[in-house]
Structure 1
Amino acid sequence: MDLNVDVWIEFLKQNWLVIVVALVILFLVLNFVKTLVKWALVLVIAAFIIIYSGISLKDIGNAVETVKDQAADITKSEVLQMMKKEAAEAEITQNSDGTFTIKTPNLEVTGSDGDGKVKVKFHGVSVGEWKINDTIEAFIEEAKRK
């Protein structure tokens, strides 16, 4: 089962008090009760924690993914706004193999003529490979005009 570490961290943040209380009870049970009854109580307490949490790890994983997607959308929006603002400062480097690199103070866009996609870096951090839209096309054209 491949679970994201962020999912576990979020689960622990939301249920830390219940987990601590359950662990204290488990240690008490392990110290004072012997044999099969001890392990039956351990299983009951573990089941209680899982049921009491009310939130499944899958739900937490979905929430984490939603937040990541929203952050990516916000970043893309910021980068596109930055392209509009810094288009006049864009400097392009054309390579003989048809690839190009456009740099501004905050952006670096690399791609290949006719490819339809570019790789974008914002403040030196890669924000992915994007399909060329109207804003990116205008940014490229502005850089080529110089």
Structure 2
Amino acid sequence: MNVQVWTDFLQQNWLVIVIALVVLFVVLNLVKTMVKWVLAIVIVAGLLIYSGISLDKIGEVVTTIKDETVDTVKSEAMNMMLKEAKDAKYTKNADGSYAVTTPNVSLKGETGTETVEVTFKGVPLGEWKVNDTIITFIESAQSNGSTTSK
């Protein structure tokens, strides 16, 4: 979002914004029921629509921020895998599944599949396709010594 656009909007519409804020505060202070929140949402939505910001634009911004955050977390998890590979523990289960754990990263998968479940600092990051970094991480954990679980 461009700061200049917001500055121009505020300069041109300051009176409408002040009136809307006064009405909003009056509604919030006088109305003590659920109706006040409905009115508050209507006032805020009216301001957003009046300012030219559409819900599509808000959705696009939220999606962009979410995607950037997920990419950043994935990148950090991959870097942590490379850093902690020497301390990784490989556990093979009797059913063909395996787990690779470090203090910050854990992988769970099944032998022969192309996806693994990744957890980073206790937060599940979902299923990832196995790539070169993950293969290196698993191989390093196996070379550290593996255990078999029954």
Q: Give the counterpart of 1:118 among 86, 91, 116.
A: 116
Residue-by-residue CA offset, 1:70-112 (whole Å, 9 max, x unaligned): 0000111100000001001000110011100111011111000
Report the equivalent of 2:32.
none
Structure 1 unaligned runs (5+)?
1-14, 29-44
Report the equivalent of 2:80.
82
Listed as ranges, the matches of 1:1-146 within 5 Å are: 21-22=19-20, 24=22, 49=47, 51-145=49-143, 146=145
After TM superposition, give the deviation of residue 20 of structure 1 in Å. 6.2
What is the percent sequence identity of the aligned residues? 51
- Measured in 1, the distance between the counterparts of 2:45 and 2:106 equals 52
Report the equivalent of 1:8.
none
TM-score, structure 2 as length reference: 0.67
Q: In angstroms, what is the RMSD of aligned CA positions? A: 2.9
TM-score, structure 1 as length reference: 0.68
Residue identity opposite 1:132 in structure 2:
V
Q: How many residue pairs end up in the alignment?
A: 115
Structure 2 unaligned runs (5+)?
1-9, 27-42, 146-150
Report the equivalent of 1:42.
none
